Each structure stands twice: as C-alpha cells, then as structure tokens.
Structure 1
Amino acid sequence: FGFWLSYPTATALKGAIQLGIGYAVGNLSSKPDRDVLMQDFSVVESIFLPSEGSNLTPAHHYPDFRLKTYAPLAFRYFRELFGIKPDDYLYSMCNEPLIELSNPGASSSWFYLTSDDEFIIKTVQHKEAEFLQKLLPGYYMNLNQNPRTLLPKFYGLYCIQCSGVTVRVVVMNNVLPRAIKMHYKYDLKGSSYKRRATRKERIKSSPTFKDLDFHEMHEGLHFDPDTYSALMKTLQRDCRVLESFKIMDYSLLLGIHVIDRKPLVRESRCDSRRGQKVLYSTALESIQGNTKAPEPVADDDTLGGIPAKHKDENLLIFLGIIDILQSYRFIKKVEHSWKALVHDGDTVSVHRPSFYADRFLKFMGTTVFKKIHHLRGASSRRKRSSFYVLKSASQEFLSPLKEDKKEEKKAQSMDNLDGNCNTKSNCRVLSLYTMCEQSCVFVCCSEARRASSSTIALDDPQPAPSGSLSYSELGVYLV
C-alpha cells in the first residue's frame, strides 16, 4: 500500500525526465571536447537528485530520483554530428512540458514529444537499452560513413529511478512533424500475418494502419525515377546495416500528406524560434546522397517532405525506420518457430535478419514505392504508334496519285536524290519509296547529314492532312 502511495504521477515522471536530461547536458558542457574512445561507449554516470537539492544538484518539486546517463560523450558526439547545439537541445527538452503521444504498436512503450516538434522521447525496456549500448560502436562507425540515413537518430539514453520505479528513455528524431497534417499513417513491415489495424486503432482521429490496410487503401506511391532510386538505395543501405547487427522486426513509419490546390494549411507550431534545427533530419535530406555538412535550410511549408503522386493526388511523404532495438536473440527464434507452426513462417514479422531485410525491401520497392515511367517507356510506345499513324495517313493522302502519276513521281524522286529541290524551304529529298508499296518519307536538308547515322522520331504526330500538300510541307520524319 505504501508503494502505491509513493508511485510517481505521469506529470512528476515527465518533470523528472526533463530535469534529469537538463542536468546531464549542463554538466557535460563543463567537460572539454575530445575524440570518442572505445571505453566511452560503456560509461554509465549516476547522480542522485533529492527534492531539497544538494551541492551538485538543484532543488525541485518532484520526488527524489536517481539519474543514470549512458555513454554521455558518445551521445554528445552524435548530437554534434547532426548540428545540435547544447543550448538548443536544452531549450527543446526543458522549455515547455512534454506532449504525450499514443502508441499504436504492440509494445508497452510511452512516447513523449518536445513542444518544438523536434525530438521524440521513448521509454525502452532494460534489454533494449542494453542492446543499444552494445550497438553504439557500430552505430558510431555507420554515422561517420553515412550521416544521411533513414535509421533512427539517437541523441541520448537515460535512466530515471523514482519512488521504486525505473524508467529508461531514449531521445530520437521525430519522423512525422505535427506542423503538417498526416492524412494517412502506416506502420509497415512487409509481412502479412496479423498486419491489419485493430478496430480500436481505426476509430482514432489519426489511426496508424498496417501492411494489409495499405494494399486496400493505396495502389502504391509514385516517385520520379531519381527520387525513387535515391529512396531505395537509402533503404537498401540501411537494411544491410541492420542485418549486420542481427536486427529484425523493425518497421517503416510512413506519413502521407495530400496536397490540396489551396495553399498548404499548417497546424499550430508551438515554437518558431528557429528554422531547421537538426541536420539530415527530414525525409528529403535523408535520401539525398552523401553531401557533407550542408548549411541549415530555412523552414518551409513542406518541412522536408518527399514529393510523390497517388492517382491524381499530389503528396508529401514523411518516413523513417523505427523499432530497431529488436535483435534476433534466443527468445525471438523461439517466437518465430512457434508462430511458424500455426501460420506460414515466411509471412510472420519475426524472422531471421537476412530474410527479414530481403522481404522488407521487396515489399517497399514493388508494393509501396513505385517509379513513374513517363519518359522512356511512354516515349518508345509513342514513337511506334506515331510511325503507324503517319504511315497510314501518308498512304491515304497519296492514294489518288498511285494510279495517275506513279511513273512520273518515281522518276522525279530519283532525280532529286542528287540535287536540291526547288521548294521555298530548300529541302532536299533524302528518299522516296515506291508509292504503291511504301509511305512517303522526307527529311529536311538541315537534318539530312544526321539521318544516315541517327533515328529521328516524332512523339506527337500531327493530324493527317486533309488537302493537297507539297512535299516540303509534309512533316513526316524517318523512324
């Protein structure tokens, strides 16, 4: 009974998290900058913060609590890599109360959002926190090679022990900005077993749908070829990194904003003190090559969304890979084996990392994201259709001449091959086929030198001529 009386309220817990992070970051500012060493990844600093304060800690209005800060120097390096200044980080974390978010997933994690829309604070289990700390050296190496990634950006790992309750939290980037309305949200894994939003989730004002829902609600999101290529290359690179760490059961969090013809209406934004605060934090930045340390760009109406299309709708896409702290440990192997007994083992979400990565990429590259084929494929079809339309039109136009002037025109064509024609446009007739068998084909003299080595196609054929035309006015090109 005494335990429940001392159990911290949600407000007290959020306040302790903010106070603890503020103290840890402020205390770290007194330490000089230096290179990150291997032992820095395993460091855990602990400090007790009584409510009445101490020589080292400030007084506060929350219950007494203990703060543990994991790998503080390593996480300071990660924040610097993404251009986060200590005072900006403190302002985001501590200026206003945290906003509690709902959790659509199966985990029991709590999510908090900073008032400036920049950072997510997520509670993690002991095993997940332990796994993240082991992951840090490889994570450090990957970020040095490739800061542009759709993987979560980790900015801090902390533990709060308050009134007998232990809460571990990780600070990450926010994938879906509140400043733009998300008309659709998806949590996608590439599996089909129980991958449908529950009835309870569907009645929410902003539900998060899953893989089977995507099949029913969207026929794929279409991108221009360059954007599609950059997106899939980023996903492939990230999945191979996760596979190398033996990580599976991750998801792609996907937000879709439908652009109206009206100006984009933005929701309220609590903090407009700064523009873009974190480098490589938006979806568009995360897939654009390997440019080093760009200057922060001004905040705009798109907030870094990736342009896409669905049918006749113009979209902005926001996305990121989430839930990467699930390794293929013994318990996950047992879970996969058990589910495979009652269902197709290849469709369940828990699977060995290599299979999971391949299935994830195949689903994203063929079902969710698609390439707009508006150049080569359509152009070649137009070329073929243009030739047949023009050929039939020229045959129809020349049919009266076939019977009366066949021999005369054949002689003229042979003479004109060696000389210039007398038309006003000074066109040279390159070739004239037998009129009863082939269509007339002409090439202007300006193109005659290239006609022997190249193929010229007319993509948008003109209507068939309705009256008598001179040879120079018949706009038919050699295909």
Structure 2
Amino acid sequence: MTLGLNILIWGFPINCNSGSMLVDNLFGYFLHGRNLMTHSYLQKEEEKGREKRLTDVKTKTKKKHFVAQKVKLFRASDPLLSVLMWGINHSINELSHVQIPIMLMPDDFKAYSKIKVDNHLFNKENMPSHFKFKEYCPLVFRTLRERFSIDDQDFQNSLTRSAPLVSEAQGRSGARFHTSYDKRYVIKTISSEDVAEMHNILKKYHQYIVECHGTTLLPQFLGMYRLTVDGDETYMIVTRNVFSHRLSVYKKYDLKGSTVAREASDKEKAKELPTYKDNDFINDGQKIYIDEESKKTFLDKLRKDVEFLALLKLMDYSLLVGIHDVERAEQEEVESEDNEGEEEGESDGGIVGTPPDSPSNTLDSAKPLSPGDFDPCIDVYAIKSHDNSPRKEVYFMAVIDILQHYDAKKKAAHAAKTVKHGAGAEISTVNPEQYSKRFYDFITTILP
C-alpha cells in the first residue's frame, strides 16, 4: 500500500513517505526536559543468505523466513469512529515512549500533536483514504488520566479493541454521544467554542484535580481530539462514564435547581431511557436515600466543585442522576436466564465458548460481584442506598456540561428571561455565583 504522512508536533513539520509500512509505527516523539525531539521507527532491513568460501572452511547460512506483522484494523460503521480508534491507538503508543515529566510547563497546555494520513490503497471499508488526527495537550491529558487512576493501556484497549457504541442521548446543539464498547468511557462531539473554553480552563482544572487528588464530581476529562475526514472537522472529548458498565440504570434525571421549563418533552419521554428534569423529579416524589457519611462526603465534594466552577465564571451545568434498582435488575436477570435456558434447549446442544480475545472477556474475567455491588475504582460516582431506604438502589451522580461561560450572550439571555418570567422566577440563566448557590441548595433538598 502507498502511504503518505505529514506530521506536525508542537509546530515542527515532518514528512514521511514510504511504499510499504505499518501504520502504527509511523513516528514517535520524546520529551527530554522541555525540548521536543522527533524520531522515526521506520527501519529498512535487507538480509540475504551468504555463502562464505574460505580456502579450508566452507560454511552454510540458514535461509531466513520473514513473517509479516499483523496490522491492527479499526472497524466501525462510522468512518469518524474508525479514525478516532486509529488516532487514540497511535497516540497512546507514542506517549508510551515519552518520559512522564516531574511537572507540567505552561507550553504543555498549548501543545498538540497532529498527523495527516494519505493512503490511496487502504481498504475504505475499514478506514477513510485521507484523514487528519489532532490531539490537544497530550501530556496534560495523560497526567489527568493518571490522577484519575486510569491506566493508559486500559484506556487504549477500551477505545480501540472494538468499535464504540452509539448512544441515543443527545446533548446541546445536537451533540452526539458514544460509549466505549465496555461502557467505561463516553465520547461526545463538541463545538470549536467548547474546545476554546476547554483550553481556557484546562490549567486551573488540572491544578484543581491535583489538589483534590482526583476526588471530584466534575467530569473526568481524559482526552480531546479533532478529526478531519473529507474536509469536515469534528471535535470530540472523552470522559469517564458517570453510569456503571454493568449495573443498568432504569431512570435518570438532569437537575439544575431551576423550575422554569424544566420538564422532559413528550419526545424525550418516548425514548427507552428518557432524561427527566427538575420538575419531573419533584412530581415523582423522588429522593436520594444515602447514609449520613455518604451524604456528608458527597455534599462536601459538591460544594467545593461548584465553588470552583463559580470562580471560573461557569454556569448552566447539571447534576446527572442515574438510579439502579437492585431488585428489578435481579428479576430481569432471572427472566433473562430462563429465556436463555429455553433457547439452549431448542438448540442442538453445542456449547459455544467466548473467544479468549473477545471484547467481553476483559470485564467477565474480573471477580464476580453480587447484585447491587460495584467496583468503586471503576464506578467512581456510585453510592449505595442506606439500609432503611424504601428500595434497594444504587445512585450514580456527577456534575456534567460545565463548559458554559457566563458571557455577554448569557447575560442577554438572563435579561430576556427575567422580563418574561419575572425577577423572582427560578430561571436557569443566572450569574455563576447565584447559579452555584441555587444549584447546591437544591441538591441538598433531594438528600433527606
């Protein structure tokens, strides 16, 4: 295959062209102190069998057999996802050669790596012929993953071993969501304005995560990328999934502490798992039943988080709440096992095992958990209901959508809504200090 690459790392252009090469080994970069150095792993070896003839000694050389290295393919129904899988795989491979710096420098928060791939003979069913992949602040996000106790190899496997799954959830301005195949991470499309805002807050966000030792209800930002396919640019950000990879959520809410126009639409309610809002939560008589120690820990984290967001002049964020009903899940599991038993009885009796390298094998190999139990190292946002709760539940709660800055546009929206609904109305568009206080006060009321 014919492959051409143009690489730009921290503003230094590199050109790579080769008649035949493996995509994963195109280029590498190292950081020594703060100096960037680039190197290529493209080595061409030519070996031929030789027969040495000496006057008294004749030696015979063995014929060498070369085995072609298996190329990792990234198959996804959406070309963008194939490019994302390729890019993350490439990025993590390259970062594995870079020494972790003792401390990050200001330039690390402006840095990026960028690669352009032109491969006319590549199989279009697996990958677009031409694409660009850009990763923002790679060292910063690697440090954040480390602070959140996420191993880069696990991160790479989750996002590249099998294609991400489509989610029916839809965010602001038509943002699309996917989850990694193992449901540990969420991939969200974002706007160029969100990318700019992320750059604005990243240094302070990183400092905050370091100071709180990664213990927060804020989104865990793990990577930010720009993908270019057919001239169209798409921005994506990867975060840890708020919900569990194994405990199903039967009801979820998006809470802002506002009551104006805060009900789920009929279209939303028609979804398999609708996102309900503040008024729905109140009308349902829903409460979050957790013990006093968990409540104190949760509210302490929430208070610090919203104070931090107010300092950054951020607002319009939400508390995402997912509820897992333990008894309901147990019943569904029993029914599922019964159905599987009937299907096996109708089959020819053959047993089909799980291939060793199948995607499900990673999670299934973990120690089995009882109903309602979870691994707190993975499901970091999970809290069990207390013993006297009306129902045995597990709650998943985290702050989401924090990239809304209180700018002139938001001030104008606040003025317009105040005129429409009155000065005392609990509208969502208010200044950051007022928003954080109202948000926190409302959340305290849902924890009896």
TM-score of the two chains, using structure 2 as the length reference:
0.70
CA contact (8 A) 2:323 2:393 kept: yes
Equivalent in the alignment of 2:243:
176
Equivalent in the alignment of 2:89:
22
CA contact (8 A) 2:121 2:129 kept: no
Letter aligned with residue 138 of structure 1: K
Equivalent in the alignment of 2:399:
321
1:78 aligns with 2:144: yes
Q: Which range is displaced more, 192-201 or 11-20?
A: 11-20
Shift of 1:312: 2.2
CA contact (8 A) 1:123 1:168 kept: yes
Q: Which has the higher helix share?
A: 1
1:10/1:110 Cα in 2 relative to 1: closer, same or farther (>3 Å)? farther
- State the secondary structure of the residue aligned to 1:172: strand
Shift of 1:303: 9.2
1:299/1:166 Cα in 2 relative to 1: closer, same or farther (>3 Å)? closer
In 1, distance between residues paired with 2:440 and 2:387? 20
Equivalent in the alignment of 1:142:
208
Q: 1:271 aligns with which of 330, 340, 360?
A: 360
Q: 2:160 aligns with which of 94, 97, 103?
A: 94
Equivalent in the alignment of 2:350:
none
Letter aligned with residue 38 of structure 1: P
Equivalent in the alignment of 2:222:
155
In 1, distance between residues paired with 2:381 and 2:210? 25
Q: 1:255 aligns with which of 296, 311, 322?
A: 322
- State the secondary structure of the residue aligned to 1:205: coil
In 1, distance between residues paired with 2:121 and 2:97? 20
1:47/1:81 Cα in 2 relative to 1: closer, same or farther (>3 Å)? same
Letter aligned with residue 51 of structure 1: N
1:180/1:24 Cα in 2 relative to 1: closer, same or farther (>3 Å)? same
Q: What is the correspondence of 1:373-384 to structure 2 with a 5 Å cutoff?
A: none
- State the secondary structure of the residue aligned to 2:272: coil
Q: Which has the higher strand share?
A: 2
- State the secondary structure of the residue aligned to 1:241: helix
Q: 2:260 aligns with which of 179, 186, 193?
A: 193
Equivalent in the alignment of 1:207:
274
CA contact (8 A) 1:196 1:210 kept: yes
Q: Which range is displaced more, 21-30 or 157-166?
A: 21-30
Shift of 1:307: 2.0
Letter aligned with residue 338 of structure 1: A
* RMSD, matched Cα: 3.0
CA contact (8 A) 1:221 1:308 kept: no
Q: 1:47 aligns with which of 107, 115, 126?
A: 115
Shift of 1:341: 1.6
- Give the number of aligned pairs: 340
In 2, distance between residues paired with 1:219 and 1:211? 10
CA contact (8 A) 1:309 1:315 kept: no
- State the secondary structure of the residue aligned to 1:181: coil
Shift of 1:106: 3.9
In 2, distance between residues paired with 1:360 and 1:297? 26
1:110/1:299 Cα in 2 relative to 1: closer, same or farther (>3 Å)? closer
Shift of 1:88: 1.3
1:33/1:197 Cα in 2 relative to 1: closer, same or farther (>3 Å)? same
CA contact (8 A) 1:48 1:66 kept: yes
Letter aligned with residue 161 of structure 2: N
Shift of 1:79: 1.1
Give deviations 1:74-102, integer Å, cap 9, x for gaps: 11111112222222111111000110112
- State the secondary structure of the residue aligned to 1:133: helix
Q: 1:116 aligns with which of 182, 206, 218?
A: 182
- State the secondary structure of the residue aligned to 1:78: helix
Q: What is the correspondence of 1:411-422 to structure 2 with a 5 Å cutoff?
A: none
Shift of 1:63: 3.5
Please identify the structure whose Cα radius of gyration is greater: 1
Equivalent in the alignment of 1:354:
433
- State the secondary structure of the residue aligned to 1:223: coil
- State the secondary structure of the residue aligned to 1:157: strand
Letter aligned with residue 110 of structure 2: S
Identity of aligned residues (%): 28
1:244/1:311 Cα in 2 relative to 1: closer, same or farther (>3 Å)? same
In 1, distance between residues paired with 2:274 and 2:301? 27
Give deviations 1:160-184, integer Å, cap 9, x for gaps: 1111211001110000124222121
Shift of 1:305: 3.6
In 2, distance between residues paired with 1:297 and 1:306? 11
Shift of 1:32: 1.9
In 2, distance between residues paired with 1:248 and 1:303? 21
CA contact (8 A) 1:68 1:158 kept: yes
Q: What is the correspondence of 1:127-138 to structure 2 with a 5 Å cutoff?
A: 127-138=193-204
CA contact (8 A) 2:376 2:382 kept: no
Gaps of 5+ in 1: 1-8, 278-283, 286-295, 371-479
In 1, distance between residues paired with 2:251 and 2:388? 12
1:145/1:52 Cα in 2 relative to 1: closer, same or farther (>3 Å)? same
Letter aligned with residue 343 of structure 1: H
- State the secondary structure of the residue aligned to 2:325: strand
- State the secondary structure of the residue aligned to 2:153: helix
Equivalent in the alignment of 1:312:
390
1:68/1:341 Cα in 2 relative to 1: closer, same or farther (>3 Å)? same
Shift of 1:215: 0.7
1:225/1:61 Cα in 2 relative to 1: closer, same or farther (>3 Å)? closer
CA contact (8 A) 1:308 1:316 kept: no
Equivalent in the alignment of 2:130:
64
Letter aligned with residue 358 of structure 1: K
1:324/1:53 Cα in 2 relative to 1: closer, same or farther (>3 Å)? farther
